[in-house]
Structure formats: structure tokens, C-alpha cells
Structure 1
Amino acid sequence: MPPISPELHDQIGQRLRQDREAMLATVRARTAGDTDDRPAISPMAHMGSNDDAPTGEMLSHNEEHLAEHETNLLHDIDAAIGRLESGGYGVCTSCGRDIPEARLLATPTVQTCIQCQEQIEKEQGTGRGPTM
């Protein structure tokens, strides 16, 4: 039996495709030329004739990080679409257990069950535990 229902399959598939198109539009907007035909992520894109160089560099640096983040999100979406099409969607890539529907609906690109994700965060020290 597949790990998710046909209805959830259709719902998640539609959502992932919409998310992918929205993210592609965002990436295209960031990399397309602005009024000066310079993409927002290009070096010196945020420098005018009287601008502060460190501020312009900081803005360009931020744009590069946003572009990298968006690229990673696109990769995650494409991977989730691939798992959905191959029949592996909804199965934890770490332990093989089914991922609860609520988790899939909350984060359609999720690859692990809660227990495995907690273990990964514990090992990497990236969890959202106490900060003080």
C-alpha cells in the first residue's frame, strides 16, 4: 500500500508544482536585469554614484545568500516531486517509516519523520532547543 492516499498525493503534487513555479518566478526576478540591466545578485548592483561601498557589498552579499537559499528550496521541491512521482513520497529517507500526513502537509518537502529529524538535529547541534 502506498504511504499516502491518492487525495493527498494530488493535493501535495499540486502544491509542490505551485511552490516550484512561485520559486522559479522569484529566482528569475532576482537574476533578471533591473532598470540598468544588472541582476540584483550581480556585483555592484547596489552601487550608485554616491553610495557607500560597504553597504552595497553587504546588499550584494545578502542577495547572493538569498539566491543560494532559493536554489536549495528549488532542489528540495524537485526532490519531493521526484519522490512523489516514483512512489517514495511520505516515507522517511532515514528509517523507512511512514511520515505522518500532518507533517507532509505542513512541510511538503520534508524527507524524514519527526524522530529521525530530531536525531539529525541533535547530532548536528542544529535543533531549536533552549537558547539561554
Structure 2
Amino acid sequence: MPPISPQLHEELGKRLRQSRADVQAAVRARTDGDTDDRPAISPTAHMGQNDDAPTAEMLSHNEEHRAEHDSDLLHEIDAAMGRLESGAIGVCVSCGREIPEARLRATPTVQTCVACQERIEHERGTGRGPSM
């Protein structure tokens, strides 16, 4: 039996499917259309005859970053959907303890309990605390 209630299972499933559809729609909105309208990632793609090379490189970098972010987000959503279907959602992938329902509702793609997430952030130096 999954560690979450059937109601939460249904709610998370709906939210994850909607999130996936939203990301896919955003990607389609940016990439569909004429070739001239599509985002270009190549550093020279934004260069015109008199364009500034650093500006063109920045635009390409931004498009590359957006594409990578969208890809990472879809992967997180798909992984969460897999955990939901297998009954593993709500279980910390690091320590195996239960992830609180409020944390799952806040972030359905979450994989760790609060204690493990704090430990990970501390180890990586990426937490909210002082960085010096």
C-alpha cells in the first residue's frame, strides 16, 4: 500500500500531469512556428550583419538555459509520476523515511524529507543559511 492516502495520490497525479502539460505547452509555444521564429541556441544564430557578438552569445545562452531547465523539469515530473505509480512517492529516496504530506502538496516532485534535504544543502553549500 502506498504511504499516501488515495485522495493525495489522485491530487498529486492530477497536479503532475497538469505540470507536465504546462511545460510541454510552453516548449511548443517557443519552438513551433516558422524557422525564423524558433529559438536558436547556436552562439552565431543571433548574429546579424552589425550585431554585437556578446549580445548574440547571451541570447543563445539564455535559450540553451531555458531548454535545459525545461528538460530537467520534465525529467523531475516524469520521475515523480513513476514514483506515484509504483507507490514509492512519499518515501525519502535518501533515508527511506516518510515525506510529510504538506511537503508533497507543496512540491509534488520532492524526493527527500526535510532532514535529508537540509543535509544535502549543507554538504553542497547551497542552503539558505549564510554562505561565508
> 1: CA distance between counterparts of 2:51 and 2:2?
57
2:72 is the counterpart of 1:72: yes
**Given residue 85 of structure 1, which amino acid in structure 2 is its aligned partner?**
E
- What TM-score comes out, normalization by structure 2 length? 0.89
Q: Where does structure 2 lack aligned partners over 5 or more consecutive residues? A: none
**Given residue 32 of structure 2, which amino acid in structure 1 is its aligned partner?**
A
> 2: CA distance between counterparts of 1:126 and 1:67?
23
Verify the 8 A CA contact 2:125 2:131 in the aligned structure 1: no
Q: 1:42 to 1:34 in 2, by over 3 A?
A: farther
Verify the 8 A CA contact 2:9 2:84 in the aligned structure 1: yes
Verify the 8 A CA contact 1:13 1:84 in the aligned structure 2: yes
Structure-2 residue corresponding to 1:128: 128
Structure-2 residue corresponding to 1:42: 41
> 2: CA distance between counterparts of 1:131 and 1:123?
12
Identity level (%): 72
Q: How far has the Cα of 1:60 moved from its partner?
A: 0.8
> 2: CA distance between counterparts of 1:32 and 1:47?
21
Verify the 8 A CA contact 1:92 1:112 in the aligned structure 2: yes
> 2: CA distance between counterparts of 1:10 and 1:47?
48
Task: Tell me the C-alpha RMSD between the 2 structures.
Answer: 1.8
Give 1:10-25 correspondences, 5 Å limit. 10-25=10-25
Q: How far has the Cα of 1:48 moved from its partner?
A: 4.1
> 2: CA distance between counterparts of 1:41 and 1:33?
13
Verify the 8 A CA contact 1:40 1:46 in the aligned structure 2: no
- What TM-score comes out, normalization by structure 1 length? 0.89
Q: How far has the Cα of 1:2 moved from its partner?
A: 2.3
> 2: CA distance between counterparts of 1:32 and 1:57?
22
Verify the 8 A CA contact 1:12 1:105 in the aligned structure 2: yes
Cα shift readout 1:11-42 (whole Å, capped 9, x = no counterpart): 010000000011111222333345625x2133
